Structure 1
Amino acid sequence: MGRRGSSSDDPLFQEGGAPGQPVRGGQAPQPRRDTARHLRSSKRMGWLKIVAVVLACALIAGIGVVVVKVMGLRASLTAEPLNLGTGATGLPVDLSTDPVQILILGTDSRDNTGGAYGKDPSSDGKGNSDVMMLMNLSADRERVTVVSLPRDLLTDIPTCEDPQTGQVYPAQEFAQLNTALSYGGPGCTVAAVNELTGMEIDHFMMADFNAVKELSEVIGGVEVCVNEPINDTYSNLVLPAGVSSVQGEQALAFLRTRHAFGDGGDRGRIRAQQSFLASMARKIMSEGTLTNVPRLYNIADAVARNLTVDEGLTEITKLLALADRLKNVDLGKVAFVSLPTSLYEPNPNRLVMDEVEGQKLFEILRNDGDVTAGSKPEPSASPTEAPEETEEPSETAEPEPEETLSFDPSVQPVQVLNGSGAEGRSEEVVEQLQLLGYLLSAPAETVAGAESTSPATQIFYSAGFEDVARALAEELNVPKANVLSSETRYGVTVSVGKDFTTGEKLDPTGGVSGNFTGQTADQVTCQGSGGF
Structure 2
Amino acid sequence: MGGRRVHPGKEASIGQSTESPNSDVSTDRPEVLRHLRDRRRAPFWLKLSASIVSALLVASLALAAILFLRLQGNIKTDDLNAALGGSTAPAADDNHDPIQILILGTDTRSGANSSYGSQADSSGNGNSDVMMLLNLSADRKNVSIVSFPRDLMVPFPGCKNPAGGNPIPAQDSIQLNSALALGGPGCTVATINAFTGLTIDHFMLADFTAVKDLTSALGGVEVCVSKAVKDPASGLDLPAGKSSISGDQALAFLRTRHAFGNAGDTDRIKAQQAFLASMTRKIKSEGTLTDLPKLYNIADIVTRNLTVDSGLASPTALITMAGRLKDIDLSQVAFVTVPSGEDPADTNRLILSEPAADQLFSAIKQDVSLTTPAKPSSTATASTSASASPSASSSSKAATTKAPAFDTSIQPVIVSNASGVTGRDQELLQSLSAAGYTNSVLGQVVADQPNTQILYGTGFADVAQSLATLYGIPSSALRSAPALSGVQLMIGQDFSSGTKYGKVVLPKDIVAETAGQPISCQEVNDLPR
Q: TM-score, normalised by structure 2?
A: 0.65
Displacement after TM superposition at 1:52 (Å): 7.6
CA–CA distance in structure 2, aligned partners of residues 347 and 205 of structure 1? 31
CA–CA distance in structure 2, aligned partners of residues 219 and 167 of structure 1? 44
Q: 2:521 aligns with which of 521, 526, 530?
A: 526
Distance 1:390 1:278, change over 3 A: farther
Matches within 5 A, 1:359-378: 359-372=358-371, 374-378=372-376
Distance 1:346 1:300, change over 3 A: same
Name the SS for the 1:105 alignment partner: strand
CA–CA distance in structure 1, aligned partners of residues 175 and 220 of structure 2? 33
Counterpart check, 1:80 vs 2:74? no
CA–CA distance in structure 2, aligned partners of residues 210 and 173 of structure 1? 34
Most deviating of 120-129 and 309-318: 120-129
Partner of 1:483: none
In our comparison, the structure showing a higher alpha carbon Rg is 2
CA–CA distance in structure 1, aligned partners of residues 398 and 165 of structure 2? 61
Partner of 1:357: 356
Partner of 1:103: 102
Displacement after TM superposition at 1:348 (Å): 1.4
Contact (CA 8 Å) 1:161, 1:183: kept in 2 or not?
Answer: no
Query: Residue type of the partner of 2:524?
Result: S
CA–CA distance in structure 1, aligned partners of residues 334 and 214 of structure 2? 21
Q: Which has the higher helix share?
A: 2
Counterpart check, 1:186 vs 2:194? no
Contact (CA 8 Å) 2:100, 2:134: kept in 1 or not?
Answer: yes
Contact (CA 8 Å) 1:229, 1:241: kept in 2 or not?
Answer: yes
Ranges in structure 2 where 5+ consecutive residues have no aligned partner: 1-48, 385-392, 402-505
Counterpart check, 1:219 vs 2:213? no
Partner of 2:480: none
Distance 1:141 1:284, change over 3 A: same
Displacement after TM superposition at 1:140 (Å): 0.3
Displacement after TM superposition at 1:57 (Å): 3.8
CA–CA distance in structure 2, aligned partners of residues 380 and 97 of structure 1? 19
Partner of 1:273: 272
Partner of 1:119: 118
Query: Residue type of the partner of 1:245?
Result: S
Displacement after TM superposition at 1:315 (Å): 1.1
Contact (CA 8 Å) 2:356, 2:507: kept in 1 or not?
Answer: no
CA–CA distance in structure 2, aligned partners of residues 177 and 392 of structure 1? 46
Displacement after TM superposition at 1:113 (Å): 3.9
Displacement after TM superposition at 1:333 (Å): 0.4
CA–CA distance in structure 1, aligned partners of residues 146 and 263 of structure 2? 20
Displacement after TM superposition at 1:97 (Å): 2.1
CA–CA distance in structure 1, aligned partners of residues 346 and 258 of structure 2? 18
Contact (CA 8 Å) 1:217, 1:248: kept in 2 or not?
Answer: yes
Identity value in percent: 48
CA–CA distance in structure 2, aligned partners of residues 285 and 336 of structure 1? 16
Aligned residue pairs, count: 363
Counterpart check, 1:148 vs 2:156? no
Name the SS for the 1:168 alignment partner: coil
Query: Residue type of the partner of 1:187?
Result: G
Residue by residue over 1:223-276, the C-alpha shift from the partner in whole angstroms, topping out at 9 and shown as x without a partner, is: 001101111111010111100011000000000011001111100000000000
Distance 1:55 1:530, change over 3 A: same
Query: Residue type of the partner of 2:225?
Result: V
Residue by residue over 1:82-122, the C-alpha shift from the partner in whole angstroms, topping out at 9 and shown as x without a partner, is: 11111222522332222111100000000124642223635
Partner of 2:288: 289
CA–CA distance in structure 2, aligned partners of residues 126 and 391 of structure 1? 59
Contact (CA 8 Å) 2:113, 2:207: kept in 1 or not?
Answer: no
CA–CA distance in structure 2, aligned partners of residues 97 and 149 of structure 1? 26
Partner of 1:200: 199
Displacement after TM superposition at 1:165 (Å): 3.8
Query: Residue type of the partner of 1:301?
Result: D
Partner of 1:59: 57
Name the SS for the 1:215 alignment partner: helix
Matches within 5 A, 1:412-451: none
Distance 1:144 1:199, change over 3 A: same
Displacement after TM superposition at 1:66 (Å): 0.9
Query: Residue type of the partner of 1:98?
Result: D
Displacement after TM superposition at 1:130 (Å): 0.2
Residue by residue over 1:402-458, the C-alpha shift from the partner in whole angstroms, topping out at 9 and shown as x without a partner, is: xxxxxxxxxxxxxxxxxxxxxxxxxxxxxxxxxxxxxxxxxxxxxxxxxxxxxxxxx
Name the SS for the 2:328 alignment partner: coil
Displacement after TM superposition at 1:159 (Å): 1.5
CA–CA distance in structure 2, aligned partners of residues 114 and 72 of structure 1? 22
Name the SS for the 2:115 alignment partner: coil
CA–CA distance in structure 1, aligned partners of residues 328 and 375 of structure 2? 21
Name the SS for the 2:397 alignment partner: coil
Ranges in structure 1 where 5+ consecutive residues have no aligned partner: 1-50, 394-511
Most deviating of 59-68 and 214-223: 59-68
Partner of 1:33: none
Partner of 2:170: 171
Query: Residue type of the partner of 1:109?
Result: T
Displacement after TM superposition at 1:513 (Å): 7.4
Query: Residue type of the partner of 2:512?
Result: G
Matches within 5 A, 1:126-141: 126-141=125-140
Contact (CA 8 Å) 1:95, 1:321: kept in 2 or not?
Answer: no
Partner of 1:249: 248
Q: TM-score, normalised by structure 1?
A: 0.65
Contact (CA 8 Å) 1:255, 1:273: kept in 2 or not?
Answer: yes
How large is the Cα RMSD of the aligned pairs? Answer: 2.5
Contact (CA 8 Å) 1:104, 1:133: kept in 2 or not?
Answer: yes
